[in-house]
Amino acid sequence: MCGIVGSWGAGDRDAEAVLKRMMGAIGHRGPDGIGLKRARGGWLGHTRLAIVDLATGIQPMPSQTGRAWAVVNGEIYNHRDLRRNRGRARFHTRSDSEALLVEVEQGGPAGLSRLDGMFAAAVALPGRLVLARDPLGIKPLYVGYDANRRLLFASEMKALRGAALSARFGCLAQEGEIRRGHRRRAGAGGLCGADRV
């Protein structure tokens, strides 16, 4: 069980401090390491429980190109098949999380449809953030907005306490995507798409 946190959009003057507090609230989810990275448009944080690729599976994880960064909680069962299909040259670790990162970097949110597993993930691409959960929603992902209209997300609701004004429980569609300058659409599904602010 790992933990992921992040913020996206609306400036980042205090984002690093906010994410450090959020990571502290879920530190029990990842006793094997913590990581924090400023990505284009926001911040990603990860608390790690090392299971697959103990040596090089550290997160936040960059893609081979350096254009994308990911934090992932869960397991991608078909990561070996995905690696074979994409070509091993695109990978620099043996981590199953890197397979998710490469699928989203190469195929956008549509790449998520090729994944077999249980996961909650955030992938920061140039100018956009892709948040995703497995189709059954096994791994939790909570989202909310703070007073600065920054999107905040975390593996546990308690990480959002005090940081987010409004939070939604696990209401992401498998391919929920937020672009800079966008906000969630109102509706029964919660955060399932984006509208311009």
| Active site (catalytic) residues | 2
Q: Which of 16, 24, 40 is nearest to 127 (CA)?
A: 40
Beta bridge partners of residue 33, listed in sequence order? 48
Phi then psi dihedrals of residue 111, to 5 deg: -65, -20
The two tokens of residue 108 are 């956008």
CA 9 vs CA 2, 28, 129, 180, 182: distances in Å: 24, 27, 9, 6, 9
How far apart, in whole angstroms, are the C-alpha atoms of residue 42 and residue 146?
14
How far apart are the C-alpha atoms of 120 and 44, rounded to whole Å? 13
> How long, in residues, is the chain?
197
In angstroms, the CA 143 to CA 22 distance is 12
